[in-house]
Amino acid sequence: MSERKHSEPVARQLLIVGRVQGVWYRASAEQEATRLGLSGWVRNTRDGSVEALVAGAEEAVEAFVDWARQGPPAAKVERIEIAAGSPPETAGFHVLPDA
């Protein structure tokens, strides 16, 4: 019998703090989210952090959060704040204009 976990879709709002702008964080996040089959968006904020909303299967969202703790090679993530989010209104994953 398979122990594969099936879960309801979830959404998480992330605030990624550190050296995360100017290091291809958003483009890398878009690639990772697309690879994981997630919906949502990512954008830079005025304070130098990156904000993201990811939605999909719980396992995929958790995998994205694990990836986000490191980010692309040039990033230096100091911390991530995670909160429950609302599913995005559009399908797919997008890079949004800066907040």
Q: Which CATH number belongs to the domain containing residue 62 in this structure?
A: 3.30.70.100
Cα 77 from Cα 20, distance rounded (Å): 7
The three-state secondary structure class of 2 is: coil
- Could you confirm whether 26 is annotated as catalytic? yes
Q: Are 37 and 86 in contact (CB under 8 A)?
A: no
In a domain, 17, yes or no: yes
In a domain, 98, yes or no: no
Given this model, what pLDDT does residue 22 score?
A: 95
Annotated active-site residue in 43, 44, 46, 79: 44
**Residues 6 or more apart in contact with residue 1 via CB below 8 angstroms:** none
Given this model, what pLDDT does residue 10 score?
A: 97
What is the total count of domains within the chain? 1
In a domain, 50, yes or no: yes
Partner residues linked to 71 by β-bridges: none
- Could you confirm whether 69 is annotated as catalytic? no
Annotated active-site residue in 4, 12, 19, 26: 26
pLDDT per residue rounded down to tens, the chain (99 residues): 444 455 679 999 999 999 999 999 999 999 999 999 999 999 999 999 999 999 999 999 999 999 999 999 999 999 999 999 999 988 899 999 998
In a domain, 1, yes or no: no
In a domain, 2, yes or no: no
The pair phi, psi for residue 11, each rounded to 5°, is -135, 140
Q: Position 39: which residue type?
A: S
The pair phi, psi for residue 71, each rounded to 5°, is 70, -165
State which residues form the domain around 51: 9-87
Give the mean pLDDT of the chain: 93
In percent, the amount of the chain with pLDDT more than 70 equals 93
> Cα–Cα distances in Å, from 80 out to 20, 54, 92?
11, 14, 23
